[in-house]
Amino acid sequence: MKLILSITVNGTARQDAVADNMLLIDYLRDIVGLTGTKMGCDGGECGACTVLVDGKPRHSCLALAQACGSTHVESIEALADHSRLSRLQAAFHEKLGAQCGICTPGMVMAAEGLLRHNPSPSEEEIREGLGANICRCTGYVKIIEAVQAASAP
Amino acid sequence: MSDIVQPSHPIGQRVPMIDGPDKLTGRARYTADLPAIGALSGKILRSTAGHAEIVSIDTSAAKSMPGVIAIVTGDDCDKTYGVLPVAMNEYPLARERVRYRGEPVAAVAAVDDATALAALTRIKVTYRELPAYYTAQEAIAADAIALHEKRPGNVERQTEFDLGEVDAGFAEADLVREDTYHCAEICQVQIETHAALADYDVERDQLTVHCSTQVPFYVHLMLSRCLDMPKGRIHVVKPHVGGGFGCRTETLNVELICAMLARKAGGAVRIVLTREETFITHRGRPETHIRMKVGLKKDGRITAVECESLQRGGGYSGYGIVTNLYSGSLLYALYDIKSVRYTGTRALTNTPPCGAMRGHGTVNIRFAFEALLDTMASELGLDPFAVRRANLLKAPTFTENDLMVKSYGLPECLDWVEEASGWQKRKGTLPPGRGLGMACSHYVSGASKPVHWTGEPHAVVNLKLDFDGAIVLLTGAAEIGQGSSTVLAQCVAEVMGLDMSRIRVVASDSRVTPKDNGSYSSRVTFMVGNAAIEAAENLKQIMVEAAAKKLDAQPQDIECLGEVYRAASQDRGIDYEAVVSAALEDTGTITTKGTFSTIPESHGGKKYRGAAIGGTMGFSYAAQVVEVTVDPDTADIKIEKVWVAHDCGYALNPLTVEGQVQGSVWMGMGQAMSEETRFHNGMPIAANMLDYRVPTIVESPDIEVKIVESVDPNGPFGAKEAGEGSLSGFPGAVANAVADALGVRVTELPITPDRLMAAIEAYEKEQRVRQTAGAA
């Protein structure tokens, strides 16, 4: 059954008729048209779909869209100031934190959530903060360097 | 003028990837992201039997469902496909027989996912079960029935060679040891699941396919073959691809099925596989049993090698023969070894087909070899580094199996990892449970003879220069995240002396880009890079001639500074845009071309059937040291640190070279420590990332990279491969580190706590028996 979902996506308040069993990722990709959020697994394995819900990282493949009513959902598309990369995105770019780029939106959003909560994380805290996000290209070394480069001095 | 423009030199610089901003902002579109309003959803029905005859497929109930637009089965295509012209034995949808659980038998295109999935449940398939063989040993047993008529005994092809004087070599050795090793099957687990979007235009009989492939050209060939359509009516585009690692180096059934559905539906169909289906599509590294025998002199010189390998290939041939041949041929070209006897058997089994996973054919064999060498070094009281140094090649040379080695940075790799890890000071002095291990490895920079031999150059690059001054680089090379578009842009910018912002790369669109064999066997930088350099040199020549005319000078007197062309050092010259205008005056839009062909000496030999496999223009070399801590109570292994040195000839982009080397080492770590596809009666039981055990960031170590530059005489600016060679060293190095830490040697991959604990218990039992015997 479709219900009206009132939600803020990347700073814009929206109301959409959304099925009660629709996942947040499908809502973002198919209804809002934000395909930056990726699906890499059959649910809860890889973290590629990570978005921020009220500032906290969440797997959008494990959340029902209707359960996110009245929240602020932020996806990778929200981070850049139009085409200008955020400090975190620029760090991922310059340090080669992204290779094939498919885990990148989720990885960057998980790191964004971490840094908002803890602007100067230790290496250990970075590993914990990104522990639910799988990358197959980098071996994670340059991802850690990127998050460190974007951390507050 | 003192403030004269200097040419740009992007080669050798740490250049971030040119498509990075797209990936970081969510703008990069992968196949599942492409806008396709009205595209139908395609879903695949898969075999529930491991090995069976298909008695009947009844699609009538599914067909009559509202919203179901097209259904295809094996009846819709009687053409086989496959990557090797000599071994095409797979159908897009099974015909008459299924050979592994999960093999596609039918597919539906419907208005949405739910309808398509519901329709699959209404298709009735009747199977007559046949004996199924889930291991290589069962499949090649004398009483087994053949999976394929043309593969009696379920052997893909046995590969054999016996070069040098193997028996004499063992006779002259001071120590001969033989051991068996076992490597579990692994899978690439690239994060983007397989996907295709096919659009068939009924009015014009044209097909456009976007798909997540490393080899758009091979997909094009197989689409033409299986759909019986002229190649010119097919258009293949590779959008952004979320990782490959060899899982997409051949046409996959998903691309063919999607196109079949689109043609039958008369419109657009998209298939996005689940993670489980992506595991089942497989094309990973085969389970391999290895018997390795080595002869050593007291000084560490290797006198002879004998190796037998048995691979579980899966239900179809795929790259099978090639995997088998690489396993044998690349016993050579790392060390100076004359005498090798190799027997490789590839079995056809009722499991998903294996493929050309990163480090194709070399990884399991290298693990066995490096582990055995370490065991024997310790028995002879030799340092593992000394044993390697006793067996170094001297480049340039040809190996006993005729592989060409033109540059060889292994000695420098060894020196660096030894020094950086503190090996000489620390080895043997570490606390209990802590250990250091090392190993070496190598890999080809592209196969000198491609699987589709046409006589054409290996690579073609086109450059287009027009009124706007932008240089459009057209290449078929498949950017899959490894940075191929970036490195090609660097090559052109370097030759032209221009900033990279002048270069625009258009890649992998069959309507506009020149044919390319694709991204596999680390061929792109070496082959396509050389073609890009030649195309840029041809363009620069045109620019120089135009500038000469404009400046009333001779072309040989013109100096190109990138943004300025001048006739003499005192001359202010004319700027780039003016030279472009001058060059366009007579001809209009300019296109130049560069090509690359391998030299015959690099094609490998003819001493045995298949000896061309392994032949390459240049080998990369790597050495690594791994440090571990092992908890003796839980057998849990922590990788503390990896030091790796990789000889990539010349680092065109040190940033991406480091990224490739770290990724390779880490992927080797996954195989060595935890990854394993597992089956129960042919049913995949680990077809998700958690059960399969992909390492997370939490258990992944720091990997310190040293780039060694041997400057290959044929490489683009001296470069060789960087993205595979370091992988195969890790499993051996970590096994050696565990042996150093505990005195216990594990000969099976992955070295899980279970396997290590079993080895510890066996070792302790043996010690007790020895002590008791000693006391008696």
Q: What is the CATH number of the domain that holds A48?
A: 3.10.20.30
Question: Is there a domain that residue B143 lies in?
Answer: no
**Order of strands across the sheet with B234-237?**
B68-73, B104-110, B40-46, B268-272, B195-201, B206-211, B234-237
Are B242 and A38 an interchain contact pair (Cβ–Cβ within 8 Å)? yes
B663 to chain A nearest CA, in Å? 5
User: CATH number, domain at B415?
Assistant: 3.30.365.10
Alpha carbon distances (Å) from B373 to B247, B301, B309, B395, B558? 31, 11, 17, 23, 58
Query: In B, which residues are within 8 Å of A36 by CB distance?
Result: 25-27
3-state DSSP assignment of residue B484: helix
Mutate to test the interface with A, among B17, B23, B479, B626 (most CBs of A within 10 A): B23
3-state DSSP assignment of residue B647: strand
Mutate to test the interface with A, among B18, B19, B22, B25 (most CBs of A within 10 A): B25
Question: Is there a domain that residue B177 lies in?
Answer: no
Are B191 and A76 an interchain contact pair (Cβ–Cβ within 8 Å)? no
Are B274 and A42 an interchain contact pair (Cβ–Cβ within 8 Å)? yes
Q: Are residues A97 and A135 in the same domain?
A: yes
Assign residue B96 a region (left: φ > 0; alpha: ψ between -120 and 50; beta: otherwise): left
* B575: amino acid identity, one letter: D
Yes or no: say if A35 and A57 are a contact pair by the CB < 8 Å rule: no
pLDDT score at B193: 98
Give B720's DSSP letter. Answer: -
Tokens of B613: 């496999």
Q: Are residues A55 and A34 in the same domain?
A: yes
Q: Are residues B641 and B570 in the same domain?
A: no
Give the residues across from B296 on adjacent strands: B175, B302
A49 to chain B nearest CA, in Å? 11
Which residue in B has a C-alpha nearest to residue A39's C-alpha? B192
Taking the alpha carbons at both ends of chain A, their separation in whole angstroms is: 50
Which secondary-structure segment (H or E) carries B41? strand B40-46
Q: Which residues of A114-142 are buried (b: 16+ CB within 10 A; e: fewer)?
A: bbeeeeebeeeebbebbebbbbbbbbbbb
Q: Are residues A103 and A54 in the same domain?
A: no
pLDDT score at B454: 86
Q: Are residues B593 and B651 in the same domain?
A: no
pLDDT tens-place string over residues A47-57: 999 999 999 99
d(CA A61, CA A41): 9
Closest CB from A48, A101, A139 relative to B666: A139
Question: Is there a domain that residue B185 lies in?
Answer: no
pLDDT score at B570: 79
* Structural domain total, chain B: 3
- Antiparallel, parallel or unpaired: β B340-347 and B302-312: parallel
In DSSP notation, B559-576 reads EE-SSEEESSTT---EEH
Give B701's DSSP letter. Answer: P
pLDDT score at B776: 61
Are A136 and B245 an interchain contact pair (Cβ–Cβ within 8 Å)? yes
Q: Are residues B363 and B297 in the same domain?
A: yes
Does B639 touch chain A if contact means CB atoms closer than 8 Å?
no
Q: Are residues A10 and A34 in the same domain?
A: yes
Domain that residue A91 falls in: 87-150
3-state DSSP assignment of residue B475: strand
Are B481 and A138 an interchain contact pair (Cβ–Cβ within 8 Å)? no
B601 to chain A nearest CA, in Å? 34
Which residue in A has a C-alpha nearest to residue B689's C-alpha? A45
Looking up tokens 């043309």 gives: B150
Tokens of B436: 């250091």
Last residue of a domain, one of A78, A107, A129: A78
Q: Which of B304, B596, B321 is nearest to B458 (CA)?
A: B596
Are B659 and A39 an interchain contact pair (Cβ–Cβ within 8 Å)? no
Does B667 touch chain A if contact means CB atoms closer than 8 Å?
yes
3-state DSSP assignment of residue B631: strand
pLDDT score at B3: 61
Q: Are residues A70 and A94 in the same domain?
A: no
User: In residues, how long is chain A?
Assistant: 153
Region A98-103 average pLDDT? 98
Alpha carbon distances (Å) from B222 to B244, B250, B466, B703? 19, 9, 35, 40
* Structural domain total, chain A: 2
Q: Are residues A11 and A68 in the same domain?
A: yes
Regions of chain B where pLDDT drops below 50: 1-2
**Contacting residues for A3 by C-beta, under 8 A, at least 6 apart:** A17, A18, A19, A20, A66
pLDDT score at B2: 44
A119 to chain B nearest CA, in Å? 19
Yes or no: say if B350 and B714 are a contact pair by the CB < 8 Å rule: no
Yes or no: say if A77 and A10 are a contact pair by the CB < 8 Å rule: yes
HEC string of chain A equals: CEEEEEEEECCEEEEEEEECCCEHHHHHHHHHCCCCCCCCCCCCCCCCCEEEECCEEEECCCCEHHHHCCCEEECHHHCCECCECCHHHHHHHHHCCCCCCCCHHHHHHHHHHHHHHCCCCCHHHHHHHCCCCCCCCCCCHHHHHHHHHHCCC
Q: Are residues B429 and B454 in the same domain?
A: no
Q: Are residues B625 and B637 in the same domain?
A: yes
Last residue of a domain, one of B543, B572, B597: B597
Q: Are residues B454 and B372 in the same domain?
A: no
Closest CB from A92, A102, A133 relative to B24: A92
d(CA B566, CA B574): 6
Residue B685 has a CB neighbour count (10 Å cut-off) of: 12
Does B20 touch chain A if contact means CB atoms closer than 8 Å?
yes
A79 to chain B nearest CA, in Å? 7
Are B663 and A101 an interchain contact pair (Cβ–Cβ within 8 Å)? no
d(CA B453, CA B598): 12
Tokens of B424: 């000489």
Q: Which of B584, B560, B582 is nearest to B573 (CA)?
A: B560
Q: Are residues A123 and A73 in the same domain?
A: no
Question: Is there a domain that residue B167 lies in?
Answer: no
A36 to chain B nearest CA, in Å? 4
Question: Is there a domain that residue B651 lies in?
Answer: yes
B14 to chain A nearest CA, in Å? 9
Q: Are residues A55 and A93 in the same domain?
A: no
d(CA A51, CA A87): 18
Burial (0-12, 13-18, 19+ Cβ within 10 Å), B48: middle
ipTM of this complex: 0.98
Last residue of a domain, one of A78, A96, A117: A78
Alpha carbon distances (Å) from B149 to B62, B321, B512? 33, 17, 41
Q: Are residues B436 and B458 in the same domain?
A: no
**Contacting residues for B361 by C-beta, under 8 A, at least 6 apart:** B322, B323, B324, B325, B326, B327, B330
In DSSP notation, B186-246 reads B----SSPPEEEEEEETTTTEEEEEE--S-HHHHHHHHHHHHT--GGGEEEE--B----TT
Last residue of a domain, one of A78, A98, A121: A78
Q: Are residues B404 and B462 in the same domain?
A: no
Are A134 and B694 an interchain contact pair (Cβ–Cβ within 8 Å)? yes
Domain that residue B757 falls in: 287-449+603-765
Are B24 and A93 an interchain contact pair (Cβ–Cβ within 8 Å)? yes
Residue B259 has a CB neighbour count (10 Å cut-off) of: 33
Which residue in B has a C-alpha nearest to residue A125's C-alpha? B698
Q: Are residues B436 and B295 in the same domain?
A: yes
Q: Are residues B334 and B354 in the same domain?
A: yes
Q: At what angle do helices A104-117 and A87-95 cross, to 10 degrees?
A: 130
Tokens of B762: 């066996």
Cis peptide before B353 (omega within 30 of 0): no
User: CATH number, domain at A137?
Assistant: 1.10.150.120
Closest CB from A46, A75, A141 relative to B26: A75
pLDDT score at B773: 83
Q: Are residues B301 and B420 in the same domain?
A: yes
- Antiparallel, parallel or unpaired: β B503-507 and B471-475: parallel
Q: Which of B335, B332, B359, B356 is nearest to B346 (CA)?
A: B356
Question: Is there a domain that residue B308 lies in?
Answer: yes
Q: Are residues A100 and A33 in the same domain?
A: no
Query: In B, which residues are within 8 Å of A87 by CB distance?
Result: none
Question: Is there a domain that residue B166 lies in?
Answer: no
Are B480 and A100 an interchain contact pair (Cβ–Cβ within 8 Å)? yes
Alpha carbon distances (Å) from B505 to B18, B476, B477? 9, 10, 10
Q: Are residues A72 and A8 in the same domain?
A: yes
Closest CB from B30, B662, B694 relative to A102: B30
Q: Are residues A8 and A59 in the same domain?
A: yes
Beta strands in B297-380 (DSSP E): 302-312, 340-347
Are B242 and A102 an interchain contact pair (Cβ–Cβ within 8 Å)? yes
Alpha carbon distances (Å) from B776 to B762, B766, B767, B769? 21, 15, 14, 11
Q: Are residues A9 and A67 in the same domain?
A: yes
Question: Is there a domain that residue B505 lies in?
Answer: yes
Q: Are residues B698 and B727 in the same domain?
A: yes
Q: What is the mean pLDDT of chain B?
A: 97
Are A37 and B26 an interchain contact pair (Cβ–Cβ within 8 Å)? yes
